[in-house]
Chain A
Amino acid sequence: QQQVKQSPQSLIVQKGGISIINCAYENTAFDYFPWYQQFPGKGPALLIAIRPDVSEKKEGRFTISFNKSAKQFSLHIMDSQPGDSATYFCAASKGGGSNYKLTFGKGTLLTVNP
């Protein structure tokens, strides 16, 4: 049973465009929703994270939108750059981030064309 569903599987965007990746979760006990960025040959790195008491969080060009009633959250990358080309994973955990297991989506391969 996949608890975090991520779409699309792959995404191609032109430089300067907006990249949007969506995730849906099933477990209402989840209360921490991070997004990770992974480059080939590297481990995932935290990009941005949100808690369900906030509907939106923005850090630079990256924004998370969170819809608690729909159990959905999304990552928006504004002014996408070729250097943003990577695989993006949404994740969720309950009880906080560091001491609890992360449940990941299957990932989205983002390609930003110059």
Chain B
Amino acid sequence: DAGVTQSPTHLIKTRGQQVTLRCSPKSGHDTVSWYQQALGQGPQFIFQYYEEEERQRGNFPDRFSGHQFPNYSSELNVNALLLGDSALYLCASSLPGARPYNEQFFGPGTRLTVL
């Protein structure tokens, strides 16, 4: 089992550009959440996808959007990049259903640098 995988590992963009980050969940998982982790900070929840729909959203602007595919993989898109978008973007997956207290498994993240 490969666990949660994310691509690319690192990415450098300039202000105003658009970026797409990708995530493949752990085998058997169908729920994917995205988090932003700024340097020296804890992860902050962006949104969560389940059954190809956005189920929850954190306090992030509409520039941040996502998608989940039928195979449960997910993409995070950020438009009109700002310097402040520079961060580690983490994807987490979890088991299906409404079982309580299931662990969220995190991937290694994508380090985005905006110049």
Count A-B pairs with CB separation below 8 Å. Answer: 78
Interface size band for A:
20 to 34
Number of B interface residues in the complex (CB < 8 A)? 31
Binary per-residue interface labels of chain A (43-79) against chain B in the complex, 1 for a CB within 8 Å, 0 otherwise:
1111001010000000000000000000000000000
Secondary structure of the B side of the interface? loop
Chain B hits for A34, CB < 8 A: 103
Chain A hits for B106, CB < 8 A: 36, 43-45
A sample of 23 inter-chain contacts (CB < 8 A) reads A4-B42, A34-B103, A36-B106, A42-B108, A43-B92, A43-B107, A43-B108, A43-B109, A45-B106, A95-B100, A96-B101, A97-B101, A97-B102, A98-B99, A98-B102, A99-B48, A101-B45, A102-B43, A104-B44, A105-B42, A106-B41, A107-B41, A107-B42
- Residues of A at the B interface (CB closer than 8 Å) are 4, 6, 32, 34, 36, 41-46, 49, 51, 89, 91, 95-107
